[in-house]
């Protein structure tokens, strides 16, 4: 039987405020006061530094950060430095993944790496539905496209030295209760200048790409959110329930 998952469209929200909201929802879920949920939103221009981020991978000076109106935030998710901003769809699943412990057969009962891989496959399926072929890259996290893909999905000649470009980023945190926070970010239509200010995820030589660089007709955020909700429910076997996103309606009382 599928379990309930609430899809909450937040709109635009500051990164710090979204972190506070996630922590609150995770606490409610751990206490049995609400169902699983996924937040769908966008952030203002923000660079976030995960647990493995190095400050030298922030390339812009203070003056450049001010010029581009970019906020820098340290965060408790995994991964390096990345960018969030307008033109990017961000999803934060708040899911009860279960505790990570060994049973009597010395087998882990929860596999958080598999959770990350499922998020990647979900994004790959979504992109394929819009005509973009993407992939997982062994040893790397996220979703990638061949570097030689050009406008309208037509490929130019590829060299063996060409590195793929990231179209979907993933960085998660699972707390002591087995509740997931943070999640994924899908580049829909982002200006290159914002990625030029960092070494994304600390990976030298790997570029980024947006859906708008591949598609002639870019889906709207509203359409993309609906697609994400459907595919997320399918991938994680959830019964998706929509919310209008108002903060007063976020909590589902199960008492």
Active site residues: 201
**Closest CA relative to residue 185, chosen from 24, 16, 37, 47:** 47
Cross-strand bridge partners of residue 76? none
**Closest CA relative to residue 58, chosen from 44, 78, 72:** 72
Pairing of strands 180-187, 88-94: antiparallel
**Closest CA relative to residue 209, chosen from 255, 151, 141, 253:** 151
- Judge whether 206 and 165 are in contact, CB under 8 Å: yes
What does the alpha-carbon distance between residue 94 and residue 97 come to, in Å, rounded to a whole number?
9
């Amino acid at each position: 039987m599928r379990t309930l998952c609430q899809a909450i469209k937040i709109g635009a929200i500051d990164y710090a405020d979204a972190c506070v909201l996630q922590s609150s929802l995770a606490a409610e879920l751990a206490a049995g006061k609400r169902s699983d949920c996924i937040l769908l939103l966008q952030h203002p221009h923000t660079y976030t530094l995960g647990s493995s981020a190095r400050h030298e991978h922030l390339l812009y000076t203070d003056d450049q950060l001010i010029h581009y109106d970019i906020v820098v935030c340290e965060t408790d998710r995994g991964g390096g430095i990345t960018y969030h901003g307008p033109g990017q769809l961000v999803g934060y699943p708040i899911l009860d993944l279960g505790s990570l412990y060994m049973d009597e057969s010395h087998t882990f009962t929860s596999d958080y790496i598999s959770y990350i891989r499922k998020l990647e496959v979900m994004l790959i399926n979504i992109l394929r539905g819009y005509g973009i072929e993407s992939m997982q890259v062994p040893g790397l996290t996220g979703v990638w496209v061949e570097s030689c893909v050009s406008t309208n999905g037509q490929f130019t000649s590829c060299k063996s030295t060409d590195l793929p470009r990231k179209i979907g980023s993933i960085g998660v945190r699972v707390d002591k209760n087995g509740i997931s926070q943070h999640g994924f970010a899908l580049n829909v239509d982002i200006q290159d200048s914002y990625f030029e200010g960092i070494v994304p995820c600390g990976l030298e030589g790997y570029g980024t790409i947006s859906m708008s660089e591949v598609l002639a007709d870019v889906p709207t955020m509203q359409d993309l959110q609906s697609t994400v909700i459907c595919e997320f429910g399918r991938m994680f076997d959830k019964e998706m329930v929509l919310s209008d996103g108002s903060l007063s309606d976020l909590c589902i009382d199960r008492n």
